[in-house]
Structure formats: structure tokens, C-alpha cells
Amino acid sequence: MNDHACRTGARPRSLPLALAAAALFTACASTPNPNTQFAVSRAALDDARSADAAEFAPLQLKSAMEKMDSAERALRAKEPELARRLAEQAEVDARLAAAMARSAKSQRAADAVQEDIRVLRQEIERKAQ
């Protein structure tokens, strides 16, 4: 840039083009492909199902499945951002369902152990008398 352009505050002609290109790259980078999120969400749903969420966290699993269905409809309607957000919500609900199911199963197992201990104590007390 010459000395006159610097003193007058004139911008180089390539600056608007560079700013437009940067804005375009930023916009593209900030909208991730919903297919990646769909794969993650489907994996979370599979995990929830394998953790027996249908039995132990049915409401959370149902919510995840409904949100995934809505995400698929949004994708078909060519609304990728909505589809991605719904798939993210489905993933969160599915992870919650899986965690709740695993927690409930662990609690059930702990309760069974406690009951076994109670029965053994009763047996020991009976034999001690």
C-alpha cells in the first residue's frame, strides 16, 4: 500500500474479498454435517437398548427415539441444522436412558446381595441357637 493510502485510511481492494471469504469459511465450519451426529446418536440409542433401557428407563428411551425420528424428518425436509440439534438431543436422552438403566440394574444387584446377606445372617443366628 502506498503512503497516501495509509494516511487517508483507504483499504486495499482485496480486503472486502478476504473478509467475504473468511465469513464463508466460518459459516461452513460452524455448521457440522448432521450425518456425523446421526451416527453418534444411533450408537447411543443402540447402547441404551443393550443396557435394557426399555425396561429400566422407558420414558427416556422413548424420548430419544422420538427425537431421532424428528431429526430424520427434519433431514428429509432439508433442515440440516434442526436435524443436527434434534439428533444431539436424542443422543443426550439415549445416554441418560442408558445410565439410568445401568444404575437401576446395579441397584437391583446390590439389593439382591443385601437380601442374600440377610438370609445368611438369619441362618447363622438359627444355627447358633
- Each residue of 52-103: pLDDT tens digit? 999 999 999 999 999 999 999 999 999 999 999 999 999 999 999 999 999 9
Residue 4 lies in a domain: no
Residue 37 lies in a domain: yes
Residue 21 lies in a domain: no
* Mean pLDDT across 44-56: 96
The torsion defined by the Cα of 106, 112, 118 and 124, in degrees rounded to 10, comes to -120
Answer yes or no: pTM beyond 0.75.
Answer: no
Residue 1 DSSP SS3: coil
Specify whether the CB–CB gap between 36 and 62 falls below 8 A.
no
Residue 12 lies in a domain: no
H helix intervals, the chain: 3-8, 14-30, 34-50, 53-56, 58-76, 80-128
Specify whether the CB–CB gap between 10 and 60 falls below 8 A.
no
Residue 1 lies in a domain: no
Domain range for 122: 32-128
